[in-house]
Amino acid sequence: MEFQIINKLQGIFRLFFRDNEIVLSNQTTAQDIDKWDSLIHLELISVIEHEFNLTFSLDEILTIKNVGELIQIIIHKQV
């Protein structure tokens, strides 16, 4: 399940940042992707919410530290 989610997220990220070289891992953070800043973070989160059909709370958005944590929240919400 984790593998499928990370693959889907990678597709979303590549399309969103218009960069086909992005490779996601559990440890990937905003620091690793050049254009991933706070200004577009919520826009990216909205796209992820739409693609996975779920909603993140503000607290969840504030506490996500890396892609691994994002995946765990998605898994938790999909169960």
Partner 1 sequence: MDLTSINYLGFITLTFLFYRFLPLNAKPYLLIFSSFIFIGTYSIESLVFFLFQHVLIHFTVKKISTTESASIRKRMFKLGIVFIIAFIFSLKYIEIKFNNTSSFNTNKLIFFLGISFYSLQNISYLIDVYYGRVKRLSFLDFTLFSSFFSKFIAGPITIIQTFKITYIEKNNTYLIQQGINRIAWGLFKKIVIAERIAPVIAFNFELKNPTLGLTNLVLAYLFTIQLYFDFSGYSDIAIGTAKLFGIDLSENFKLSLRAKSISEFWRRWHISLSNWLTNYIFYPISYKYRKKKYWGTIIAIVITFLVSGLWHGVYLTFIIYALLHSVYLIVGLFIQKPTNRFKNRIFSIFSIFFTFNLVSISFIFFRSISIEQAFSKVKCIFSQHFFSNNLLFDFTQYIAMGGEQENVFNLYVSLFLISLVLLFEDRLQRIFNAKKMNVIHLTLILLTIIFFGVFDKSKNFIYTQF
Give residues in contact with partner 1 (CB under 8 A).
Answer: 17-19, 35, 37-43, 46, 58-59, 61-63
Question: Which residue's CB is nearer to partner 1, number 39 or number 79?
Answer: 39
Q: Is 21 helix (H, G, I), strand (E, B) or coil?
A: coil
User: Nearest distance from residue 70's CB to partner 1, in Å?
Assistant: 15
Sign of the alpha-carbon dihedral angle for 57, 28, 52, 50: positive
User: Nearest distance from residue 34's CB to partner 1, in Å?
Assistant: 8
Question: Which residue's CB is nearer to partner 1, number 35 or number 76?
Answer: 35
User: Nearest distance from residue 12's CB to partner 1, in Å?
Assistant: 15
8 and 71 Cβ atoms separated by less than 8 Å: no
Helix H or strand E encompassing 56 = none
